């Protein structure tokens, strides 16, 4: 399967381990990723918050590049980028006046012909292959699947799953052998848009999310968004202030899949996290060698 | 379908929002479901989403455009996903922010304004956002010099921040998008500011 790949700014920076772990599992899962050449920022989240047209136009430039470079489907693993790109695609399909305006702002032909998918949708659809290739099934590991906001909303954009009771991440987690816990805060927003400009708000929201995950018995939280990751991992220390530390590792879904496929934690970039995942990883069984495919 | 760039001057804030977004705020019947699910409602100083929409309906323009609440919306879309009458509060609040900025470029609370300015300046200058430099820009703009922001040292030792921002090849294209949007919006604003032809007194 060949896909255009839109990494976005975070995957080249604070979320580089999301990119590293995605690249590490792509080969074994038969996915060929081709990075969109000369991509630009999708505009999240300051674009649309200050000018709707700017938000749509910044996203559309990348859709037009992917189209020009011959991609049919574009993978945007960052949930914020996905929200902007898939949202712009949807809106431009619905609104001819907006499409005409945006067309004038771009410098290349644009037919809005490229579908946008996120990493959760992609991995859910190949969950059977993950299960089959798991050389280190993660039995016994309890994880909380955290969707946050833009992976499942708006529902007309993120139509691959249910907005109120999604199941894609749980399907992927089950394929790795780990056990998804039932909990309440799966689709609550972590507040990332205000992460820098209004810290106390995001610390409150993060504390509520991690507290619920802990209460449900989760040993780790699985995410598919650089903003959620940065908030829940980096700010975790501040969330616990005055109380018991959460010590809750936050793993990208691609890292969890990588562990099950027998990829080393180092190669998956797990050492780049602020919250140490070693105590949890130490409980996992060692990778076993899969039986060799039957000879013809 | 939205009604972008109609040239009639909107008489009420509800009309202005409808021109901007194509959505009709008068459809809201105040069930409050949006506020019940809003993660920021408790911090909005008594103006959670359904109260904001009510102020739109009753045309309290100044109170809305000067409120802090419109800047606290995270655009998490919970309200729009759950609204039983498809009012789309998240989109309307984005529209209120746009109207507030066009009335007063300094409308947003300083840290939030500084974040948006620093973010967009990165994108305009380089085509992409270099997080380290965005944080420096934010700190200068906000005066919030000593907070952790994103704790650059810890991020750097983990290899998470790029030191040198690099321009994309098509950075001029991106700058043209910024300029083109600005021109369109200025043209739109001056159209709206111009006295409408005849019948203006009807709106008294």
Question: Which residues, 6 or more positions from A21, have their beta carbon under 8 angstroms from its beta carbon?
Answer: A252, A254, A255, A257, A258, A263, A267, A268, A269
- Whether residue B189 is predicted with pLDDT greater than 80 in this model: the reply is no
Q: Residue B7 pLDDT more than 80?
A: no
Chain A window 262-291: which residues touch B at a Cβ cutoff of 8 Å? 271-274
Angle CA A254–A256–A257, to nearest 5 = 65
The C-alpha of B201 sits at a distance from chain A's nearest C-alpha, in angstroms, of 30
Residue B160 has pLDDT above 70, yes or no: yes
What does the buried/exposed string (b/e) look like for A245-278 if buried means 16 or more CB atoms within 10 Å of the residue's CB? ebebbbbbbbbbbbbbbbbebeebbbebbbbebe
**Chain B: closest CA distance from residue A19 (Å):** 12
CB nearest to B181's CB, from A57, A94, A97:
A57
pLDDT, position B204: 32
Distance between CA atoms of B139 and A295, rounded to whole angstroms? 63
Q: Give the pLDDT confidence score for residue B159 in this predicted structure.
A: 87
> Measured between CB atoms, does A135 come within 8 Å of chain B?
no
What is the structure's pLDDT at A120? 98
Judged by CB atoms closer than 8 Å, whether chains meet at A272 and B130 is answered as: no
HEC string of B27-41? HCCCCCHHHHHCCCH
- pLDDT tier for residue B150 given thresholds of 50, 70 and 90: low
Predicted pLDDT of residue A296: 52
Contact call for A46 and B116, based on CB within 8 A: yes
Min Cα distance B83 → chain A (Å) is 11
Contact call for residues A160 and A150 (beta carbons, < 8 A): no
Give the nearest partner residue to B128 out of A9, A47, A188, using CB atoms. Answer: A9
pLDDT at B92 > cutoff 70: yes
Q: Which of A38-47, B49-58, B189-198 has the highest mean pLDDT?
A: B49-58
Q: Would you state the pLDDT for residue B164?
A: 81
Q: How many CB atoms lie within 10 A of CB A168?
A: 26
Q: Choose the closest CB to B158 out of A49, A54, A272.
A: A272
Top pLDDT among A130 and B135 is at A130
Cβ-Cβ pairs closer than 8 A, A with B, add up to 181
Distance from the A90 Cα atom to the nearest Cα atom in chain B, whole angstroms: 12
User: Which spans in B32-170 are helix H?
Assistant: 33-37, 49-57, 61-65, 69-72, 78-82, 89-103, 110-126, 131-142, 152-157
* Tokens 């939205």 belong to residue: B2
Contact A43 B43 (CB under 8 A): no
**B146 has a pLDDT exceeding 80:** no
CB B139 within 8 A of CB B149: yes
Residue B150 or B113, more confident? B113
Identify the segments of chain A with pLDDT beneath 70: 290-296
Q: How far is B112 from chain A (nearest CA, A)?
A: 5
**Nearest beta carbon to residue A196 from set B115, B128, B130:** B115
Task: Please judge whether B72 and A201 are an interchain contact, meaning their C-beta atoms are less than 8 angstroms apart.
Answer: yes
Confidence at residue A195, expressed as pLDDT on a 0 to 100 scale: 86
| Residues A247, A275 contacting (CB under 8 angstroms) | yes
Strand partners, A250: A221
pLDDT at B13 over 90: yes
| Distance of alpha carbon A251 from alpha carbon A257, whole angstroms | 10
Round to whole Å and give the CA distance between B115 and B117.
Answer: 5
What band does B64 get if pLDDT is binned at 50, 70 and 90? Answer: very high
Averaged pLDDT of chain B: 88
pLDDT at A285: 77
- Which tokens sit at B12? 């009420």
* Contact between chains at A57 and B170 (C-beta distance less than 8 A): no
Please judge whether B21 and A52 are an interchain contact, meaning their C-beta atoms are less than 8 angstroms apart: yes
Is residue B17 within 8 Å of B99, Cβ to Cβ?
yes
């Amino acid at each position: 399967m060949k896909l255009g790949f839109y990494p976005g700014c975070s995957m080249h920076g604070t979320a580089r381990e999301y990119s590293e772990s995605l690249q590490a599992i792509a080969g074994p899962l038969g996915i060929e990723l081709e990075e969109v050449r000369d991509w630009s920022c999708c505009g999240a989240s300051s674009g649309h918050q200050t000018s709707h047209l700017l938000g749509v136009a910044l996203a559309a430039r990348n859709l037009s590049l992917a189209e020009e470079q011959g991609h049919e489907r574009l993978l945007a693993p960052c949930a914020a980028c996905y929200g902007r790109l898939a949202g712009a695609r949807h809106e431009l399909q619905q609104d001819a006046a907006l499409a005409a305006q945006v067309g004038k702002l771009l410098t290349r032909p644009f037919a809005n012909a490229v579908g946008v998918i996120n990493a959760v949708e992609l991995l859910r659809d190949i969950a059977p292959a993950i299960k089959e290739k798991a050389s280190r099934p993660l039995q016994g590991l309890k994880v909380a699947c955290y969707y946050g906001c833009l992976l499942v909303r708006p529902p007309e954009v993120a139509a691959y799953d249910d907005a109120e009771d999604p199941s894609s991440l749980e399907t992927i987690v089950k394929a790795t052998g780990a056990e998804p816990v039932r909990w309440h805060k799966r689709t609550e927003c972590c507040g990332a848009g205000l992460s820098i400009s209004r810290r106390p708000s995001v610390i409150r929201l993060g504390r509520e999310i991690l507290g619920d995950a802990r209460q449900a018995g989760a040993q780790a939280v699985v995410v598919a968004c650089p903003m959620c990751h940065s908030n829940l991992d980096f700010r975790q220390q501040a969330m616990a202030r005055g109380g018991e530390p959460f010590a809750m590792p936050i793993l990208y879904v691609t890292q969890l899949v990588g562990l099950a496929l027998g990829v080393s934690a180092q190669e998956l970039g797990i050492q780049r996290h602020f919250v140490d995942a070693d105590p949890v990883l130490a409980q996992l069984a060692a990778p076993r060698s899969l039986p060799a495919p039957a000879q013809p | 379908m939205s009604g972008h760039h109609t040239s009639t001057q909107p008489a009420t804030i509800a009309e202005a929002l409808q021109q901007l977004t194509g959505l009709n705020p008068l459809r809201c019947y105040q069930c409050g479901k949006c506020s019940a699910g809003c993660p920021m409602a408790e911090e909005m100083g008594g103006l959670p989403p359904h109260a904001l929409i009510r102020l739109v309906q009753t045309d309290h323009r100044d109170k809305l455009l000067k409120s802090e609440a419109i800047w606290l919306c995270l655009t998490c879309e919970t309200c729009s996903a759950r609204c039983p009458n498809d009012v789309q509060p998240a989109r309307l609040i984005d529209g209120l922010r746009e109207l507030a900025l066009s009335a007063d470029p300094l409308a947003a609370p300083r840290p939030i304004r500084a974040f948006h300015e620093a973010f967009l300046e990165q994108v305009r200058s380089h085509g992409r956002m270099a997080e380290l430099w965005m944080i420096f820009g934010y700190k200068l703009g906000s005066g919030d010099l000593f907070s952790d922001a994103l704790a650059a040292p810890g991020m750097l030792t983990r290899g998470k921040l790029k030191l040198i921002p690099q321009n994309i090849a098509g950075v001029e294209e991106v700058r043209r998008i910024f300029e083109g949007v600005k021109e369109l919006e200025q043209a739109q604003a001056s159209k709206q500011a111009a006295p409408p032809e005849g019948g203006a007194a009807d709106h008294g």
